[in-house]
Structure 1
Amino acid sequence: MSDRKDHLVGEFPLLPKQERAQQKRKSLLKSGHALFIMKGYEYTTAKEIAAHAGVATGTFYRYFSDKRQLLMSLLEDQIEMLMPPEPKWGVRDPESTLAALLEAHDRRIKEMGLQRLLPELLAKDSEFAEVLAAAKRKIYDRILSGVKKAYEHNLVWKDLDLNTVTWAMMILAENAPEKMKQYGKQADYREVAKVICRMIFPPDVIIRLQTEAECKVDEIE
């Protein structure tokens, strides 16, 4: 069990081995997921989750200490999916590649549904906020490493601070589609990708990447 899992979830009352018990636990997780999305975390109770799953309230507490543990179990293996995607540099068409990554990321987020709970959780659960912040730092470090390698290959602007570039890119990737929706525009990932790429690459590099043979990606990533 990882340190992160210990920190987020804690020790379960029971981890079932029999298939029937495993199915009950999975049913509780599925019901919790549905109710958290429908009602929000604060207004969902363990009793409601158990009823939705078709089991007694006591059965809920057989597998989970409380509703927080159930929610963190849902989020545990999906935290990295909440993070913005890591771009690929040195590909022939960086705008299209990044747009596809952003679109796929948004599709995964929507399928999860739990991102709607994040503002509520971050305001009330300091442990979860710390774990999410640590996950963001990890993806930031990975993206920064890629930008630095692209810099070494003379692909990015030479007069920009790479830490600031990475920070700005993460802000755009995380928030631009939602901001577009707030102003009545449909999320256009190609436009978001275009802005990010213009921020990263000088015009001549973009032209070169679009027209030349694809660079060796393993040298850039």
Structure 2
Amino acid sequence: MAERDERHLVGAFPSIPKQIRAQQKRLALLESGRSLFIEKGYEQTTAKDIASYAGVATGTFYRYFSDKRQLLLALLEDKMEKLMPPVPNWMHRNPEQLLASLLENYNNSLEAIGIHRVLPELLPKDPELSEVMLEARKSLHRRIYNGLKSAKDEGLTWGDLDLDTVAWTIILMVENSPEKAKQSGSTLEYDEMAKVICRLVFPPQIMEKLYISKSEDKR
């Protein structure tokens, strides 16, 4: 199946503001919707609530968005890339350190956006959006797979690795790391997570070389 552009879900907006003041109102509605979806949940939030929170009339909401779903999809469209786990660079001279930094930045960004908390409520009821998210994850999988393939071609990974399985395993580990921390009552240890993932990818002799490189970098 060809990759789909998630913008088809948004549809045509009632109005695209050109004046700065109108753009500011639209941005205020987007931020209002984001805050309320996170605080109250998608189903419990109405267009009237969003407009009131943004300090505008309900009619102003419908000037820019056909309904709250369109507003949410506009938010997701803008943040889709940031909602997906990072793609590691396995060819980096210190992939473990780089991956730990990527994971920390990703989770900090995810928490700052917050909109991912709405998805578990919405996806089971919205097949179209579910398919778009699935396509985004498949695209992410291909990018991670291709990186692993390049590393394997260079003789850096385990020779018998099933790269397809490893790529999905990495995605699932990263996606579920916040829930793991929540259930265990501990903070996310990005260095430890990166270490586990790199042990999954690299055999001991390669990791030994990487640790040597890391030690040399600190001198």
Q: Same fold (TM over 0.5)?
A: yes
Which residue number corresponds to residue 126 of structure 1? Answer: 127
Query: Quick check: 1:99–1:189 contact (8 Å CA) kept in 2?
Result: yes
Which residue number corresponds to residue 106 of structure 1? Answer: 107
Shift of 1:56: 1.2
The aligned runs of 1:11-90 (5 Å cut-off) are 11-90=12-91
Report the Cα distance in structure 2 between the residues aligned to 1:212 and 1:26, rounded to whole angstroms. 47
After superposition, the Cα gap between the structure-2 partners of 1:147 and 1:128, relative to the gap in structure 1 and judged at 3 Å, is same
> CA offsets, 1:78-125, max 9 Å, x none?
112111110111223222111111000000000101111010111111
1:158 aligns with 2:152: no
Instruction: Show structure 1 runs of 5+ residues with no match.
Output: 214-221
Q: Secondary structure at the match of 1:77?
A: helix
1:171 aligns with 2:196: no
When the two chains are superposed, the root-mean-square deviation of aligned CA atoms in Å is 1.4
Query: Quick check: 1:92–1:210 contact (8 Å CA) kept in 2?
Result: no
Query: Quick check: 2:87–2:143 contact (8 Å CA) kept in 1?
Result: yes
Larger deviation, residues 165-174 vs 199-208: 165-174
Query: Quick check: 1:9–1:72 contact (8 Å CA) kept in 2?
Result: yes
Query: Quick check: 1:90–1:209 contact (8 Å CA) kept in 2?
Result: no
After superposition, the Cα gap between the structure-2 partners of 1:6 and 1:92, relative to the gap in structure 1 and judged at 3 Å, is closer
Query: Quick check: 1:177–1:189 contact (8 Å CA) kept in 2?
Result: no
Report the Cα distance in structure 2 between the residues aligned to 1:209 and 1:54, rounded to whole angstroms. 55
Identity within the alignment, %: 55
Report the Cα distance in structure 1 between the residues aligned to 2:25 and 2:43, rounded to whole angstroms. 23
Shift of 1:181: 2.4
Instruction: Show structure 2 runs of 5+ residues with no match.
Output: 215-219
Write the letter of the residue equivalent to 2:88.
Answer: P
> CA offsets, 1:34-53, max 9 Å, x none?
11111111000001111111
After superposition, the Cα gap between the structure-2 partners of 1:57 and 1:173, relative to the gap in structure 1 and judged at 3 Å, is same
Larger deviation, residues 138-147 vs 48-57: 48-57
Query: Quick check: 1:8–1:76 contact (8 Å CA) kept in 2?
Result: no
Q: Which has the higher contact order (CA 8 A, sep 6+)?
A: 1
Write the letter of the residue equivalent to 1:127.
Answer: E
Query: Quick check: 2:13–2:64 contact (8 Å CA) kept in 1?
Result: yes
What is the aligned length?
A: 211
TM-score by length of 2: 0.92
After superposition, the Cα gap between the structure-2 partners of 1:179 and 1:13, relative to the gap in structure 1 and judged at 3 Å, is same
Segments of 4+ moved more than 3 angstroms: none
Report the Cα distance in structure 2 between the residues aligned to 1:34 and 1:165, rounded to whole angstroms. 36
Larger deviation, residues 28-37 vs 168-177: 168-177
